[in-house]
Amino acid sequence: MLQRPPHLLGIETLSREQIVFILDQSKPFQEFQRHPLKKLATLRGKTVAIAFFEASTRTRISFTTAASRLGADTMSLQAESSSLKKGESLIDTVRTLEAMRPDGIVMRHSSSGAPEFVAQRLEIPVINAGDGTHEHPTQALLDALTIRDRKGKLEDWNVTILGDILHSRVARSNIHLLSKFGARITLCGPPMWVPRELENLAPNIRRTPHIKEALDGADVVMVLRVQTERIHEPALAADEYIAGYQLTPERLRLARPDALVLHPGPMIRGLEIDSAVADGPQSCVLEQVTNGLAVRMALLYHLVGGAPADAPHPAKE
Amino acid sequence: MRVVEKRQLLSAEEIGRTISRLAHEIVEKSSGTANLALIGVRRRGVPLSERLAKVIHGFANVKVPVGTLDITLYRDDLSTIGAQPVVQSTEIDFPVDNQDLVIVDDVLYTGRTIRAAMNGLFDLGRPKRIRLCVLIDRGHRELPVEATFIGRSVQTSDSEIVEVRLQETDGEERVMLVDRVD
């Protein structure tokens, strides 16, 4: 069996085999979401700290639900109510959480590298739920699961990512993951959001500011959320973005007829994506949400479950 | 730790005859097969349940639904073991509500696997009845669980292991009693 990594900090350092293992382990949990009774006792007695130092709704609900369906309890820390506002340092906050003896911590932070910093200092598994512009590994894993399910395999697709790539941890994690499986990746968006350095992330990356060129022959189209807080700096008007980069039914026809459309949410209809595409047969948006639960249950089961590392092993087989 | 084979409990031919007898017993004691369904426990309960269904189809001409149950998430020792065991899929594509279920497994030992299997089934609905069919009952129960249909009961000591080998999972067909030697 595979050596289980103690944390999940990013996709970049995972091997293909580790990724396939997580995706395979998500399958039973996908099926579990269809059960009439969605409550296991598998992690009964375990506590998962859900520490979100940056606002989030869907990822936090997804992790909390995943923990709850496995039977674990959660303790929740949210940016709005946190003592960070009162000036406490990150390490003091997480040490305080750790003193309440959780068995793992799911963490989101606006600073890239914050989960790794915490992982080096705590004794419990850390799962990165998004850090700055660095990585959002569970999003990439659920996207990969969605692609593998819909297309039958994960290898060798033409993947186009549309939008603000520079600031997107979703894009970064997806680029790392899909390129490990031979994807040819096209990055497309306003030039200031698609700088040349991104080509160094992985082999087989090309950039283009022209959406028609980007969509030609695509098997998978990933639409990123336009972070409206960024759209005014440096000056880019919403209508310019819509004219140049909105995924419309006409533009989607340039991709392969069976191309998939993915969006990490929250979706802003009429800005980065047209409603007809968001609700169309090629859209995987709601499957992504359900698959997110399955992936997170599989990760919590393997990382948080089991005996604590320092506990004696009972001899019973 | 080494293991040595002490004796063979069932030959390939005897396994075949035993399964055939168990299939007849299940139908005989079920007052109709309308709601009957077999649930194979991973791993070796799966081929056994499929063979039982095949035999039943052969003599009673009814297709009894067969499902596969993975009990990993329901084990009672997960918080005491280090690395978590790999989870496999449960494939029961029929409603279990009001069904007359027969859990099928290769060896009945402590009874803990069957306790886990029943918990797994309850999460899928409310069966009318659950019974248990095993190829070998080796004793040493730790829970109040008994089988309704038993291929063969075998006296064993705690250090012994009953090894069931089936064509589908192991590439050979026999049941052995082996012993651990330190």
pLDDT digits 0-9 by tens, B72-129:
999 998 888 878 899 999 999 999 999 999 999 999 999 999 999 999 999 999 999 9
Alpha-carbon gap, residue A10 to A98, rounded angstroms:
22
Asked if A156 and A299 sit in the same domain, the reply is: no
Nearest residue on chain A to B120, alpha-carbon basis: A40
In a domain, residue B141? The reply is: yes
- A46 neighbourhood in chain B, CB within 8 Å: 79
Asked if A143 and A284 sit in the same domain, the reply is: yes
In a domain, residue A127? The reply is: yes
Q: How many CB atoms lie within 10 A of CB B102?
A: 24
**Whole-number pLDDT of residue A158:** 98
**What torsion do the CA atoms of A167, A171, A176, A179 make, to the nearest 10 degrees?**
-130
- A298 neighbourhood in chain B, CB within 8 Å: 87
Asked if A30 and A126 sit in the same domain, the reply is: yes
In a domain, residue B6? The reply is: no
- Is the pLDDT at A30 greater than 60, yes or no? yes
- A20 neighbourhood in chain B, CB within 8 Å: none
Asked if A35 and A85 sit in the same domain, the reply is: yes
- State which residues form the domain around A247: 137-288
Alpha-carbon gap, residue A257 to A38, rounded angstroms:
36
- Is the pLDDT at A70 greater than 80, yes or no? yes
CB A43 within 8 A of CB A301: yes
In a domain, residue B32? The reply is: yes
B142: domain CATH number is 3.40.50.2020
In a domain, residue B133? The reply is: yes
In a domain, residue A237? The reply is: yes
Asked if A252 and A267 sit in the same domain, the reply is: yes
Nearest to B124 among A36, A41, A301 (CB): A36
Whether the model clears a pTM of 0.95, i.e. scores above it, the answer is: no
Task: Enumerate residues 6+ apart whose C-beta is below 8 A from A210.
Answer: A188
Asked if A296 and A282 sit in the same domain, the reply is: no
Asked if A28 and A156 sit in the same domain, the reply is: no
Instruction: Please indicate whether, in this complex, the C-beta atoms of B88 and A46 are within 8 angstroms of each other.
Output: no
Task: Report which secondary-structure segment, H or E, holds A234.
Answer: none
- Is the pLDDT at A233 greater than 70, yes or no? no
In a domain, residue B39? The reply is: yes
Task: Enumerate residues 6+ apart whose C-beta is below 8 A from A211.
Answer: A162, A188, A244, A245, A251
- Is the pLDDT at B51 greater than 50, yes or no? yes
Query: Packing angle between helix A16-32 and helix A285-304, nearest 10 degrees?
Result: 110
B69, B71, B78, best to mutate vs chain A, most A CBs in 10 Å: B78
In a domain, residue B173? The reply is: no
CB A127 within 8 A of CB A67: no
pLDDT higher for A89 or A219?
A219
In a domain, residue A297? The reply is: yes
Asked if A99 and A159 sit in the same domain, the reply is: no
Percent of chain A scored above 70 by pLDDT?
Answer: 91
In a domain, residue A2? The reply is: no
Asked if A30 and A70 sit in the same domain, the reply is: yes
Peptide linkage before B174 cis (omega within 30 of 0): no
Q: How confident is the model at residue A81 (pLDDT cuts 50, 70, 90)?
A: low
Asked if A105 and A170 sit in the same domain, the reply is: no
Alpha-carbon gap, residue A262 to A222, rounded angstroms:
5
- A45 neighbourhood in chain B, CB within 8 Å: 79
Distance from CA of A72 to the nearest CA of B (A): 12
**Coil/strand/helix, residue B115:** helix
> How many residue pairs bridge chain A and chain B with CB atoms within 8 Å of each other?
64
In a domain, residue B24? The reply is: yes
Peptide linkage before A209 cis (omega within 30 of 0): no
Asked if A86 and A177 sit in the same domain, the reply is: no
Numbered residues of chain A with Cβ closer than 8 Å to any chain B Cβ: 1, 4, 25, 27-29, 31, 35-37, 39-42, 44-46, 298, 301-302, 305-307, 309, 311, 313-314, 316
Q: How many CB atoms lie within 10 A of CB A222?
A: 27
Total domains, chain A:
2
Asked if A146 and A264 sit in the same domain, the reply is: yes
Average of per-residue pLDDT across B135-164: 96
**Whole-number pLDDT of residue B175:** 97
Q: How confident is the model at residue A230 (pLDDT cuts 50, 70, 90)?
A: low
**Coil/strand/helix, residue B125:** coil
- Is the pLDDT at A225 greater than 50, yes or no? yes
Q: What are phi and psi of B140, to 5 degrees?
A: 65, 45
In a domain, residue A7? The reply is: no
Sequential DSSP letters for A122-190: -SS-EEEEEETTTB-HHHHHHHHHHHHHHHS--SS-EEEEES--TT-HHHHHHHHHHHHTT-EEEEES-
Task: Enumerate residues 6+ apart whose C-beta is below 8 A from A87.
Answer: none
Alpha-carbon gap, residue A288 to A77, rounded angstroms:
25
Task: Enumerate residues 6+ apart whose C-beta is below 8 A from A204.
Answer: A179, A182, A183, A184, A185
Q: How confident is the model at residue A313 (pLDDT cuts 50, 70, 90)?
A: very low
Percent of chain A scored above 90 by pLDDT?
Answer: 84
Instruction: Please indicate whether, in this complex, the C-beta atoms of B124 and A305 are within 8 angstroms of each other.
Output: no
- Is the pLDDT at B38 greater than 50, yes or no? yes
Sequential DSSP letters for A32-78: HTTSSS----TTTT-EEEEEESS--SHHHHHHHHHHHHTT-EEEEEE
Nearest to B78 among A39, A42, A313 (CB): A42
CB A84 within 8 A of CB A55: no
In a domain, residue A309? The reply is: no
- State which residues form the domain around B104: 11-76+88-156
A248-257, A275-284, A304-313, B95-104 — which is least confidently predicted? A304-313
Total domains, chain B:
1
Nearest to A301 among B87, B122, B125 (CB): B87
In a domain, residue B147? The reply is: yes
- A306 neighbourhood in chain B, CB within 8 Å: 78-79, 81-84
A57: domain CATH number is 3.40.50.1370
- B86 neighbourhood in chain A, CB within 8 Å: 1, 25
